[in-house]
């Protein structure tokens, strides 16, 4: 037993059923939910982010949803500051913070802290993006690998935002992200897990094909609910553009390029091709998320199998979660 206050992490790839489980846990535990998602922070981006419905939010309010305008980038450092504040606020009421989401970088930053990184340099970033447009993002990945193989190993060759930032950090400071993180760890404040009793749980289908089916079904539902209209409304704003993190989010980027008449590599795109690209990009995101989680220390896994969150299976998953937390169930 420990006297440290409890904190629950609920992670998993996109479309794995995290929200359903988090909402269900409120019926069994005195938890308050904190969203750990780099896209749910943005207002006016509801359909393509699979934001919890108004009914779900009424039943189980999520903190750190709808806190930024899409024109305002949101960083891991922003998240850590916001999450620490929300955790303290929840614990003051005697309840348990339940952090739920799929942005693994945010979870990692909260657990390990953040190194002091140089501020963004628009000129360096523009040069990197120019090279990427000419040679492709895998070319940028190879440049990063040559100077910072540790960071490059964590980033998919097509993850443009993270690649750009990692190479920008090196060019701006002369130090790699790996070096800066090591320096930060050497002088870090007390570790998150030294302050809290953290239970870390990941939920995912055991069979990858089930996850792929869920992703395709969910993207089709997004289209039916008006994803194209949502993106058109964003495009109508003069202050939004494809270089912003919000617009580069999976799904939004592919629909934005569809309205531009291109598929990202300069070729015309049909509605069917746009749908296919959106589903493929989401699958790639899920694969990156699972890769992060496979090497995550101290993680407890809950595997699902059914194509949708059926009531019986959800009850079983809740029971497994409670058991992981040391709460005996009948």
CATH number of the domain encompassing residue 58: 3.40.50.300
Query: pLDDT at residue 32 above 90?
Result: yes
**Running DSSP on this structure, what letter comes out for residue 226?**
T
Same domain, 82 and 151: no
Question: Does a structural domain hold residue 1?
Answer: no
Same domain, 180 and 192: no
Same domain, 212 and 66: yes
Same domain, 237 and 308: yes
Tell me what the mean pLDDT of segment 187-202 comes to. Answer: 82
Query: pLDDT at residue 311 above 60?
Result: no
Tell me what the mean pLDDT of segment 195-211 comes to. Answer: 93
Domain that holds residue 127: 122-184
| Percent of the chain clearing pLDDT 90 (strictly above) | 59
Same domain, 202 and 152: no
- Among the candidates 184, 202, 234, a domain finishes at 184
Same domain, 19 and 55: yes
Query: pLDDT at residue 188 above 90?
Result: no
Query: pLDDT at residue 307 above 90?
Result: no
Instruction: Say how far apart CA 145 and CA 103 lie, in whole Å.
Output: 23
User: How high does pLDDT run on average in the chain?
Assistant: 89
**Running DSSP on this structure, what letter comes out for residue 68?**
B
Number of structural domains in the chain: 2
pLDDT of residue 89: 98
Q: pTM for the complete prediction?
A: 0.81
Same domain, 70 and 168: no
Same domain, 25 and 159: no
62-118 confidence digits (pLDDT tens): 999 999 999 998 988 899 999 999 999 999 999 999 999 999 999 998 998 876 778
Question: Burial code of 168-204, b = ≥16 C-beta within 10 A, e = fewer?
Answer: bbbbbeebbbbbbbeebeeeeeeebeeebbbbbbbbb
pLDDT of residue 243: 80
263-280 confidence digits (pLDDT tens): 655 566 789 999 999 999
Same domain, 166 and 54: no
Query: pLDDT at residue 290 above 90?
Result: yes
Question: Cβ–Cβ contacts within 10 Å for residue 207, how many?
Answer: 13
Using only the alpha carbons of the chain, give its radius of gyration.
Answer: 20
Same domain, 34 and 173: no
User: Concatenated DSSP letters for 28-44?
Assistant: TS-EEEEE--TTTTBTT
- Among the candidates 184, 200, 224, a domain finishes at 184
Residue linked to tokens 């953040």: 114
Same domain, 136 and 195: no
28: pLDDT confidence band, cut at 50, 70 and 90?
Answer: confident
325: pLDDT confidence band, cut at 50, 70 and 90?
Answer: confident
224 burial level (CB within 10 Å; 0-12, 13-18, 19+) = exposed
Question: Does a structural domain hold residue 54?
Answer: yes
Contacts of 325 (CB under 8 A, 6+ apart): 6, 8, 29, 199
Question: Does a structural domain hold residue 330?
Answer: no
Tell me what the mean pLDDT of segment 202-227 comes to. Answer: 95
113 burial level (CB within 10 Å; 0-12, 13-18, 19+) = middle
309: pLDDT confidence band, cut at 50, 70 and 90?
Answer: very low
CA dihedral 251, 254, 260, 265 (to 10 degrees): 160
User: In terms of Cα–Cα distance, which of 329, 314, 328, 300 is closest to 199?
Assistant: 300
Same domain, 54 and 195: yes
Question: Does a structural domain hold residue 329?
Answer: no
């Amino acid at each position: 037993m420990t006297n440290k206050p409890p904190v629950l992490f609920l992670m998993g790839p996109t479309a794995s059923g995290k929200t359903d489980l988090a909402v269900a846990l409120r019926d069994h535990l005195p938890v308050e939910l904190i969203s750990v998602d780099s896209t749910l922070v943005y207002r006016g981006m509801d359909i393509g982010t699979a934001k919890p419905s108004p009914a779900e939010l009424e039943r189980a309010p999520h903190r750190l949803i709808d806190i930024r305008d899409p024109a305002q980038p949101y960083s891991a450092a922003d998240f850590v500051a916001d999450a620490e504040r929300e955790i303290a606020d929840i614990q003051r009421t005697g309840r348990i913070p339940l952090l739920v989401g799929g942005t693994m970088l945010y979870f990692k930053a909260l657990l390990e802290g953040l190194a002091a990184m140089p501020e963004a340099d628009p000129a360096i970033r523009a040069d990197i993006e120019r090279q990427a447009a000419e040679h492709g993002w895998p070319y940028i990945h190879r440049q990063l690998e040559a100077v910072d193989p540790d960071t490059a190993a964590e980033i998919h060759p097509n993850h443009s935002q993270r690649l750009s930032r990692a190479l920008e950090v090196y060019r701006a400071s002369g130090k790699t992200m790996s070096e800066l993180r090591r320096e930060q760890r050497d002088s870090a404040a007390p570790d998150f897990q030294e302050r809290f009793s953290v239970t870390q749980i990941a939920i995912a289908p055991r069979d990858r094909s089930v996850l792929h089916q869920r992703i395709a079904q969910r993207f089709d539902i997004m289209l039916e609910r008006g994803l194209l209209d949502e993106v058109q409304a964003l495009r109508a704003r003069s202050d939004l553009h494809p270089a912003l993190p919000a617009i580069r989010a999976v799904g939004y980027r592919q629909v934005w390029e569809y309205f531009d008449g291109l598929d990202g590599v300069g070729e015309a795109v049909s509605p069917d091709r746009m749908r296919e690209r959106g589903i493929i990009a989401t699958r790639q995101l899920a694969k990156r998320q699972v890769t992060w989680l496979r090497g995550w220390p101290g993680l407890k896994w809950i595997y699902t199998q059914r194509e949708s969150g059926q009531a019986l299976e959800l009850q079983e998953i809740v029971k497994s979660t409670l058991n992981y937390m040391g709460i005996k169930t009948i």
